Amino acid sequence: MSQDPFDELHARRSRRWIVVVVVLAMIAAGAVVYARRRRAPAGPRYLTAAVGRGEIVASVETSGSLQPDVQVQVGSQVSGRMARVLVDFNARVTRGQLLAEIDATPFRAAVAQARAAVLSAQAQLQRAQVNVRIAETNLARATDLRSRGLNAIADVDSTRGARDLSLADVAAARAEIARARASLSSAETNLTFTRITAPIDGVVIQRSIDEGQTVAASFQAPTLFLIAADLTRMRIVANVDEADVAQMREHLMATARVDAFPGETFRGELVELRYGSQTSSGVVTYPAVISVANPEMKLRPGMTATVTVVAARHPEVLFVPNAALRFRPTAATPDGGAPAPAAESDPHRGTLYVLRASRPVALPVTLGLHDDRRTEVSGPGLAAGMQVVTDEIEQRASTTGSGGAPGMGGRRR
């Protein structure tokens, strides 16, 4: 029995629609799966660094101003007009050398007056001594007459009183001589003060007087010159933060740098760490004195120097970047990994992370010296060259509307 052509055509069309529907359903299911996979985040990736071996130097850096090891202010003890100035800046002087001279005319006159006063006092003493001899003669005569009944007792008493007054005049004259001699000595000393001399061998680094100027020394001696004893060795007075004081001790080696000579270092030594503290804006510091060699006379007083004091030095030790000790995973890793541990309470203990099966695993270590970039580490399982995690990169899959390419990610913040 033959099939109706119309029924056969209808059946054929129905099969086509079924195939189309099945294909469309498969495409839709694939699209959903693909979209979900694109939206699902990929696992994090990690940055690593190798454990190194070498020297770690712990140092303390500070700054201060350069000063001569020994410097002396030269002033004037007397007032007057500056008659001569014999040295200038940078002049080398020797001890006792005449630097300047104040007009000595009024001081010579004062010495002459003081000498005249001494002579006058000596003459007064001689006069008083003569009066004593006369008074003693009169007393002896009055006493003799009284013994013979030729005068009254009042006459004896009167002559005795005159003799005693003469003795007092002698004592006063001697005291006046002493005062006059003291005045003469003071005047002579002031005369010597008109000559300003160098108290030490050295170099004149400051001069604050010119010829013709008037020096006033009424209340304190004005500074005329500043002399540095030896500029081949300088010192730096720097302030050390209280947190770094425990690392500092005398005789530690140091280096200094100045802006005037970039790239050049000057060797020195910490010679003094003072106990007296200084507080500025709530920050407590302690003055440290660093002696620096200056054989070529490049360093000058007043320069600002950056000082690095070497507190300790450990050669041939294992070290890691400081970032490796700061790293903590963002989440637990149950398949062989570990969550971020609690913060270490012991400052000498730390935690590193190594990758096993692409997951970070905690590795406890003992900490040693550190500088700005690296820290000394030790512990079982550590070896030079092994990789430790320093940072984490989160992988993010781009959504359809984001416009980004699959697999793009960024550093964890």
Q: What is the mean pLDDT of each run of 10 residues along the chain (413 residues)?
A: 56 66 72 62 80 92 93 93 95 95 96 96 92 86 78 80 88 94 96 96 93 85 90 93 90 95 94 92 94 93 94 92 91 49 70 90 92 91 91 60 39 44
Neighbours of 287 (CB within 10 A): 16
pLDDT score of 395 = 55
Q: What is the pLDDT of residue 411?
A: 46
Write the burial class of residue 16 (CB in 10 Å: 0-12 exposed, 13-18 middle, 19+ buried).
Answer: exposed
Instruction: Return the pLDDT at 402.
Output: 40
What per-residue confidence (pLDDT) applies to 138?
A: 83
The residues, ordered by sequence, that sit 6+ positions from 130 with a Cβ below 8 Å of its Cβ are none
Position 412 scores a pLDDT of 46
Say what the pLDDT of residue 406 is.
36
Task: Please report the pLDDT score of residue 148 as a whole number.
Answer: 77
> Taking the CB of residue 48, how many other CB atoms lie within 10 A of it?
16
DSSP annotation of 345: S
Q: Is 346 exposed, middle or buried (0-12, 13-18, 19+ CB in 10 A)?
A: exposed
